[in-house]
Amino acid sequence: MRVVESVLDLRAILDNYNTNKVIGFVPTMGALHNGHCSLIRAAKQKCDVVVTSIFVNPTQFNDKTDLEKYPRTLNEDLAKLEKEGCDVVFVPSVEEIYPDNSSLSLDLEGLDKVMEGEFRPGHFDGVVEVVNRLFNIVKPNFAFFGEKDFQQLSIIRFMVKKLNHDIQIIGCPILREEDGLAMSSRNTLLTEEHRSVSPVIFKALTNAKNNIGKFAVEDIKNELVAQIEDNGLLKVEYVDIVNSATLKSLSNWIDEPMNICVAVFAGKVRLIDNLKLNY
Ligand code: PAF
């Protein structure tokens, strides 16, 4: 496995591969867990060469302390990537990714104004900025993203279409701990107490899914909040039931794919999760 820090070194390696090799790309911010490993495995199945980036992107953090306390575990990450058979790891500095102040300023047509976008203003501008830069550097055929970041995945698909990137975006299912908690790099920041109550998030989402159509949308959302907050330790920031394609918030059930999405504070740690709903 090759580990490189500069765009030049990365390009030198990738340009050396035969042009008919299929390049798979897994962008990450490190602190890798099994969810990331499942992305690498999916990439390995589909592609000849797998590139992973580890870059904690400052432009997508609207909260400075969140950026500072974001877990950084480079040595463990590299060991995991090696074990999964990743071919090339790109670990750039901030200057390498942002040598200039230019910005893409892509109009995300409202996809960035709901849910995560409402509570983390500017977050998706930062995500789109960095993913676009990484796509231009790596030039992959396929790129792999987890469905846990459901809104991010929709926005990246939108960006790829808008900017005519010739890249196929593959969404990979959420991986969960045995008790149902969605795997996330932020889980390592949870206190024991918060960790022990956090499986209720998945339980409440599952209950909501089982009750779809039986109760009004608003009642399902209220019940989910009550279930999650019942322990007195978790606080729901938002819950929304949206049209999976448009991300439009729904007040009535529709006969199209829907997702229920939630963000929850466990102390200072913010967790997100979602489930697909089929009416
Ligand atoms: O999902 C993430 O880890 C990040 O948002 C991404 C896609 C690597 C961009 O920094």
- Sketch out the chain's domains with CATH numbers: 2-172 (3.40.50.620), 185-274 (3.30.1300.10)
Per DSSP, helices labelled H in 120-237 are 123-138, 150-162, 192-197, 200-210, 217-229
- Mutate which of 94, 129, 131 for ligand 1? The one with the most ligand atoms within 8 Å of its CB, which is 131
Structure tokens at 114: 């709901």
C-alpha to C-alpha distance for 154 and 239, rounded to whole angstroms: 18
**Confidence (pLDDT) at 130:** 98
CA dihedral 159, 160, 161, 163 (to 10 degrees): 80
Which residues, given as ranges, of the chain have pLDDT below 50? Answer: none
Neighbours of 250 (CB within 10 A): 17
Structure tokens at 164: 């005519």
**Confidence (pLDDT) at 279:** 64
CA dihedral 61, 63, 67, 68 (to 10 degrees): 160
> Strand ranges (DSSP E) for 33-160?
49-54, 88-90, 142-146
**Confidence (pLDDT) at 148:** 98
User: The whole model's pTM is what?
Assistant: 0.97
- Which residues are near ligand 1 (CB < 6 Å)? 27-29, 57, 60, 127, 130-131, 149, 152
C-alpha to C-alpha distance for 70 and 183, rounded to whole angstroms: 15
Whole-number Å distance, alpha carbon 27 to ligand 1 midpoint, is: 6
**Confidence (pLDDT) at 278:** 80
Q: Is 36 a catalytic residue?
A: yes
